[in-house]
Amino acid sequence: FFGEGRSPADVQSPKINLINLSSNMKSKLIILLLLLTSKLFSQQLSLTGNVVDEKGSALSYVTIALMHPEDSTLAFFGVTNGEGSFEIKNISQGKYLLQAALISYQTYYKPIELPFQNGEKLNTILLKSKAVDLNAADVSAERIPLMLKKDTIEYDAAAFKTKPDAVAEDLLRKMPGIEVDRAGNIKAQGEDVKQVLVDGKEFFGNDPKVATKNLPADAIKKVQVYDKKSDEAELTGIADGERKKTINLTLKDDKKSAWFGDVQAGAGTDEHYQASAKVYRFSGKQQFAALGMLNNINKFGFSFSDYMDFNGGMHNMMDESNTFRLNMDDNSFPVNFGQPVTGLITSGAGGLNYTYEAKKNNRFNISYLANGADKKLEENTLTKNYTADDYFIENDTLHQTDKNRAQRLNFGWRNKSDSMQTVILSGGAVLTNGKTNAQSFEESYSDQILLNNLSSNTYNKANGVNGNAHAAYLKKGNSNWKLFKLSGDVSASQSLTKTEWENITNYFSTGEQLTNNQFQNNANNLIRYNAITSLTRKLYHDYYLEPMFGAGGANETLNRKQGVPPGEEQVIDSLSPDFTRSYNWLRPALRFKKNTEKTHFNITAEVEAGNMSNELNNESKESSDVFYFTPSASWEREYKTSRRLRAYYESRVNTPDASQLLPVANTINPLEVYNGNRKLKPEYVHEAQFNWMLFDQFSFTSVFVGLNGTYTKDKINWSRSIDNNLGQTLTLINVRDDYRAEANADYTTPIRKLGITLHASAKETYNRGINLVDNVENINTNFGNELTLSIDNRSKNKWDVSAGATAQITNSYYSVQQSLNDRYFNMAYFAELSYTPNDKWHFGTTADVTNYNAKSFHESISVPLLKAEMSYYFLKSKRGVITLEAFDILNKNTGVQRSSEANYLQQKQSNIIGRYAMLSFKYRLNKFDDKGGVKIEVNKR
């Protein structure tokens, strides 16, 4: 009944049933939403009031909380406006403990029951200064669910109910003003969270998800959200506009006195399994964490870097123009880090994190992560390639096994020895190795006539190591010279790849068959380095002048040996180059700045002067001087609290690397031969952005609007030549320009009458690029449109419900032949429901339906994915939990990806994990007794 996995061939299962099933699921989703809405419409109670201080003056930003009396968890809340008034709508009838809290004032408590009886009403709330003795209430312990401070929103974690074994991510989902999407990405106050700290310290490097997906929620005392200033601003006190949205998870005191964590093991149908262990120890000066996992259900490691390692690293995420591309749009399923996971994968990972703070502002941290994966991939790829006057079809079938291993070490030291200087050191090292065995078969058609095919067996072995280090010294001045800064970076990498292949190529128009059995070994070494120094001088009031100077360079060698196996005795000299390239540069600059608490402006005049050179086989040398004017400017205005306008412009130079410059053909695939170009010029890039951000702390409405555009002069792209047998030769060239633009808007607001939160986002993308096909210039213009709507319920004490849909339309236009213009449309629906009736049970289900339309492809595809789980908590303090989960209940999961690029339209269908059921047991170590939280006693006098 439970299948092992889904292969590309399985996609051919009856499509009518799939479509009907998709419609049924959509109908059930609508019914679910109607039931939820009808329930929410019944909540019609509201509470209004005013808050003043002892002088009778209105107090704004006072948080008004209605808490459940039995455990002091948050039920409903509001915030006073500029007139000191508040209104809380759609309150369920019942008994509550009303709390009014504002920093520097005594917290106010009052038991109430709604609806009010016999003409009772809420009087004006008076908050007294903390300097005055508390006469109105004796509070044995205080829980304030949400506190608004000047630049920080602080949440009391105990005021938000979660299931007993929840992680930090689950807790954040409950908190108003914080959004966590299905991939675990976090937004706070409308902005992306760039850093998550634990007790103010780094946790496993810079990936926020390592902390949020692993740290237990019941270890967290407070959640603080704020804008972290730059190191320069923290030292000098001069705001510079640089900031990153940060969440700090402060831990409970009892969690700092003992070891805690959990172990889990599970077994399922068709020999599926999973196991994990997490151990933590935190104290005032030290933090220690150990994580481990092993499974064969396509779950990767602990960070996004693990995902990249499993999928071939950055190289496999580059498109044809060597531009980094992460395709997140064609697969809506919330797996791992929001990325499509194809193939059948057995993976394991482990990590250690240690932080030691000898004294305040003197902190050292080190972390180690190791991961590995064995992957079996079956993939069919259908590609429509455009030529100058026609198109041809490629159909590829791939069977591949991969074994990838990676180890990553990161370290950092921050020492603010006194109020005048700061030293920062950081760095890391990565060691990777992998093996790949692949069997592929591809064939090409023109007008339904088979012109060629290629059968290939390939073995690849790759090893790589790279390291990097960063150092910075900041010295605060006493006079008008406010800051001296000196920083430097160095990185080095080495990669060794060994590839052997056997190709059989048939050209049917000539009847020719070619057999090729060769090897190719590549050794690549790269060193980059730079040093930058700057001085900040105060001119007048808030005006500053900052002269800067930087110098650096890069040296790279690429040594290739290609010939006939088994050894390197029969090397083909023309295909075995020794190639070196270097780039050395100087960057003098002068920056003018104006920085106030609300406005930040700077404009920088900079030039980049350097020399590019490359040498082939120690005899042929190319050299050219580089000189570019690379100005930049930025302006930001916080015209009101949590309302910002920002404009930004920068220019930069991208120099080609050795693989792009190498003028020797890569002939591993005889139907696609790649050539570099020693004459390539640097890309000259200009990028502009405009952003508007609004976050209303009274209504918790957020709006984010962004516009950005990029113009690239001398863009590096491909020139293709296609012969009569449909063999392609690709050579990198500089085209005159490339244009990219994007507009996006995100809107989130609570609809209190319905008891829901509405999320809406829209994104428009534009790209106009040039490549050459048979020496004919092809101008490709792509327009992308995406609209997402979703809702979730606001009160999440027991029920947590969300549902939504995403529509995507892509339009592609080609100048070489307008009849090849294409449009394709995808539609995705999702619904999630979880129910935690008490501290013993938890139920959850997730449904996804993704529809791919048939235009430009052979068929439409509808992919439904249904998951469910049930957990039972037992033992003392609910330390044990048994979970039964079922994945892909309908057994219809399918790996499908569709994309449109400069001169082709492509669909990939891959095998993917299918239906399974699994029973797991988790045991939490040293789980402290939870008596329901802090008890608040109010004695009226």
DSSP collapsed to 3 states, 198-214: ECCECCCCCCHHHHHCC
**From the CA atom positions of the chain, what is the Rg in Å?**
30
Cα–Cα distance measured from residue 872 to residue 527, given in angstroms and rounded to the nearest whole number: 54
Dihedral, CA of residue 660, residue 662, residue 668 and residue 673, to nearest 10: 70
pLDDT (0 to 100) of residue 38? 47
pLDDT (0 to 100) of residue 295? 95
Dihedral, CA of residue 896, residue 900, residue 905 and residue 911, to nearest 10: -20
* Kind plus residue range of the DSSP H or E element containing 628: strand 620-629
Strands (E), 254-361: 260-268, 273-282, 286-295, 344-359
The CA distances from residue 99 to 108, 123, 150, 438, 878, in Å, are 5, 13, 20, 65, 30
Series of mean pLDDT values for 10-residue runs along the chain (941 residues): 48 38 49 48 73 91 88 84 86 89 89 84 88 44 74 87 89 87 82 87 79 88 90 79 86 83 95 94 87 89 55 39 33 41 90 89 90 93 83 93 93 88 94 96 93 96 96 91 94 96 94 94 97 94 94 97 84 94 97 89 96 92 95 92 91 96 93 94 97 84 93 95 90 96 93 87 94 87 93 86 92 78 84 92 93 74 92 92 95 82 79 94 74 41 33
Q: How many Cα neighbours within 13 Å face the side chain of 393?
A: 13
* Six-digit token string for 554: 């890069």
Q: What is the DSSP letter of 270?
A: G
Nearest residue to 88 via CA among 75, 101, 69: 75
pLDDT tens digits, 704-720? 999 999 999 999 999 99
pLDDT (0 to 100) of residue 869? 96
**Cβ partners under 8 Å of residue 619, min gap 6:** none
Residues 163-188: b if buried by 16+ CB within 10 A, e if exposed: bbbbbbbbbbbbbbbbbbebbbebbb
* Phi-psi map region of 891: left, alpha, beta (phi>0 left; psi -120 to 50 alpha): left
pLDDT tens digits, 634-664? 999 988 878 899 999 999 999 999 999 999 9
- CA angle 665/667/673 to nearest 5° reads 70
Cα–Cα distance measured from residue 404 to residue 373, given in angstroms and rounded to the nearest whole number: 5
pLDDT (0 to 100) of residue 740? 97
Q: How far apart are the first and last CA of the chain?
A: 68
Strand partners, 405: 372, 433
pLDDT (0 to 100) of residue 543? 93
User: What's the farthest any 2 CA atoms get from each other in the chain?
Assistant: 103
The shares of helix, strand and coil residues in the chain, as percent rounded to the nearest 5, are: 10, 60, 30
pLDDT (0 to 100) of residue 306? 54
Q: What is the DSSP letter of 855?
A: T
**Cβ partners under 8 Å of residue 87, min gap 6:** 46, 47, 48, 78
pTM as predicted: 0.83
* Six-digit token string for 370: 């190791």
